[in-house]
Structure 1
Amino acid sequence: MIAIAESGSTKTDWVLLNKGSVSLRQQTLGINPYHQNTSSIIKIISSLEGFDSVHQIFFYGAGCATDDKKLLIKNALLKQFPKATSEINSDILAAARSVCGNQKGIACIMGTGSNSCLYDGKNILHNVSPLGYILGDEGSGAVMGKKLIADILKNIAPEDLKNSFYQKYDLKYADIINKVYKEEAPSRFLAQFTVFLSEHLQHPYISKLVTDSFTEFFERNIKQYEHYNKLPIHFIGSIAFYFKNELEFAANKSNLSLGKITKSPLEGLIHYHVEN
């Protein structure tokens, strides 16, 4: 039997394949080797039930881009499944395999953060570094939330939107500064305000903020790939999924062709591994 794991920092989705069909699905806490040590990861994996007969594991996760972090995950899996072989891959390869399959294309992640790659149907040929929400992550939930908050605190955002924002969120200036600069996971804090953006998309200011953010993503990331204007550009992630119309508008404005837009890579990964 084959197991597929698709993991973020919050949750990990596990699927067990038996003769090409899904026989079991489970969800555990998220696994990220940048935030957890081997023993913590083993503890999470040990909560799985019904995966004892697995002989091959494909693990895709955030934070799994370097050899040392991949080895950390591999050792944890080996401890729990000593008879199984494992392949550890990054979340961007998960995206590429999910939406491109065995075809050439550009695969993008757009959720709390953003990322992209040029994929040849087997391997990632080029990856423009996302750089995180401070230096990059254009178009992501964290960056759009950052732009909104900054404009509100600097009194750049329209007065009606500022009033609506403070009615929805019981936050003062000091609260925001503390959560961004002092507390853990500021990117998740900032990304939560995309709910406010989605509720006010008809407002010209919000519409412009969102579409400009997507245009910035295309300009600073996608247009660095060879033949970017001749390839389908696929997206995975909650921001791409829920702001699909605005993403398409920005793509058309940049003369780009969008491909698939899905919320999660899991179903595409299942199809990929059944086919391959």
Structure 2
Amino acid sequence: MILIAESDSTKTEWVLIEQDDLVQQSSTEGINPLIQTRKEISRSIRLNLPPVFFRRRLKQVYYYGTGCISAKEKDKVMTSFRAQFKSPVHIESNLLAAAHGLFKNKTGIACMLDADSASCFYDGKTIVKSVRSVGYILGDEGSSVTLGKLFLSDILNGLSPQRLTRDFYEKFHIKGDDIIQSVYNHSSPPNSFLVSVSNFLTGYTDDEYVFNLLVNNLRNFFTRSILQYDYKNYPVRFAGSAAYNWSAILKDVGRKFGVNIDRIEKSPMNGLIEYYAQNMNER
């Protein structure tokens, strides 16, 4: 039996797999070694994951996560996971999860658009070239976090429509000064609040202001994260809640760049399960 986990900063998906069968599935809060200590990661796993995940004898744990960009961060996660599951642990970025889930053993351009954003050229085995997630402060163009950040900036600078601003304050039960507190001094990760703001905007995509905000956010992603690849000769696919929720607009923006998107998945997990079923004998 193996355990597969895929995480961004706001949520983690877990599945137990026996041969080709899905034994157990769960979802918990996100894991990010860039902003969490080893003890915080271990505590999050132990308190939120159902007990059945700790009772099974595991051949291997495969973890794909945001923030796993250096040996230091990977070691932090590996130490936490080994302590909790008492099994061998393999750590990779969640961008590779998108590549494995979207393409299995085939070649293509895999894009991740969720709380974070990233893209890569995948040769069917490994990531050959990538535009990685650098976090919402330095980048993550196209992501739900960036959309939320852009909207909040407009609210605070009086640039958002009055009706939308009023609906936002009523929905979140906050005032202008509370926005800054929620982003910078809130007890939960600030990107969680920004994702919730983006989810709020998803219900207003027929509003011209929101539509343009979303389109410009996505255009920035294509410019910085797709156009540098040979996108005319390889399939382009997306994984992530943001990509899934905005799929029609995303495809339309892509067409205007000459990019044909042939697949969008809300999560790479189903594809990951298929990937490991196909490659289990090699592992």
TM-score by length of 1: 0.89
Give the alignment partner of residue 72 of structure 1, picking from 64, 68, 76: 76
Q: State the Cα distance separating 1:85 from its structure 2 match.
A: 2.7
Q: Comparing 266-275 with 15-24, which one deviates more in the overlay?
A: 15-24
**How far, CA to CA, are the matches of 1:34 and 1:263 in structure 2?**
24
Give the count of matched residue pairs.
274
Q: In structure 2, do the counterparts of structure 1 residues 23 and 219 end up closer, same or farther at CA, with 3 Å as the change threshold?
A: same
Q: Any idea what SS the aligned residue of 1:228 has?
A: coil
Q: In structure 2, do the counterparts of structure 1 residues 143 and 14 end up closer, same or farther at CA, with 3 Å as the change threshold?
A: closer
Q: Summarize the alignment of residues 251-262 of structure 1 with structure 2, pairs less than 5 Å apart.
A: 251-262=254-265
Question: What's 1:62 paired with?
Answer: 66
Question: What's 2:214 paired with?
Answer: 210
Give the alignment partner of residue 239 of structure 1, picking from 239, 242, 246: 242
Q: Any idea what SS the aligned residue of 1:255 has?
A: coil
Q: Comparing 12-21 with 87-96, which one deviates more in the overlay?
A: 12-21
Q: State the Cα distance separating 1:70 from its structure 2 match.
A: 1.8
Q: Any idea what SS the aligned residue of 1:138 has?
A: coil
Q: Any idea what SS the aligned residue of 1:223 has?
A: coil
Q: In structure 2, do the counterparts of structure 1 residues 269 and 212 end up closer, same or farther at CA, with 3 Å as the change threshold?
A: same
Deviations 1:116-145 (A, max 9, x none): 111111111111243322231111111111
Question: What's 2:233 paired with?
Answer: 230
**How far, CA to CA, are the matches of 1:166 and 1:16 in structure 2?**
41
- Structure 2: tracts of 5 or more residues without a match: none
Question: What's 2:154 paired with?
Answer: 151
**How far, CA to CA, are the matches of 1:89 and 1:195 in structure 2?**
28
- 1:175 maps to amino acid: D
Question: What's 1:15 paired with?
Answer: 15
Q: Summarize the alignment of residues 89-104 of structure 1 with structure 2, pairs less than 5 Å apart.
A: 89-104=92-107
Q: In structure 2, do the counterparts of structure 1 residues 60 and 208 end up closer, same or farther at CA, with 3 Å as the change threshold?
A: same
Question: What's 1:221 paired with?
Answer: 225
Identical-residue share of aligned pairs (%): 38
**How far, CA to CA, are the matches of 1:77 and 1:160 in structure 2?**
47
Q: In structure 2, do the counterparts of structure 1 residues 27 and 201 end up closer, same or farther at CA, with 3 Å as the change threshold?
A: closer
Q: State the Cα distance separating 1:16 from its structure 2 match.
A: 2.0
Q: In structure 2, do the counterparts of structure 1 residues 159 and 13 end up closer, same or farther at CA, with 3 Å as the change threshold?
A: closer
Question: What's 2:275 paired with?
Answer: 272
Question: What's 1:106 paired with?
Answer: 109
Decide whether the 8 Å contact of 1:231 with 1:257 is kept in 2: no
**How far, CA to CA, are the matches of 1:45 and 1:188 in structure 2?**
18
**How far, CA to CA, are the matches of 2:179 and 2:44 in structure 1?**
32
Q: State the Cα distance separating 1:236 from its structure 2 match.
A: 1.2
Q: State the Cα distance separating 1:209 from its structure 2 match.
A: 1.2
TM-score by length of 2: 0.87
Decide whether the 8 Å contact of 2:104 with 2:124 is kept in 1: yes
Q: Comparing 256-265 with 26-35, which one deviates more in the overlay?
A: 26-35
Give the alignment partner of residue 53 of structure 1, picking from 54, 57, 64: 57
Q: State the Cα distance separating 1:224 from its structure 2 match.
A: 1.9
Alignment root-mean-square deviation, CA: 2.2
**How far, CA to CA, are the matches of 2:90 and 2:192 in structure 1?**
29
**How far, CA to CA, are the matches of 2:154 and 2:7 in structure 1?**
33
- Structure 1: tracts of 5 or more residues without a match: none
**How far, CA to CA, are the matches of 2:184 and 2:36 in structure 1?**
22
Q: State the Cα distance separating 1:30 from its structure 2 match.
A: 3.8
Q: In structure 2, do the counterparts of structure 1 residues 37 and 183 end up closer, same or farther at CA, with 3 Å as the change threshold?
A: closer
**How far, CA to CA, are the matches of 1:102 and 1:210 in structure 2?**
33
**How far, CA to CA, are the matches of 1:159 and 1:110 in structure 2?**
29
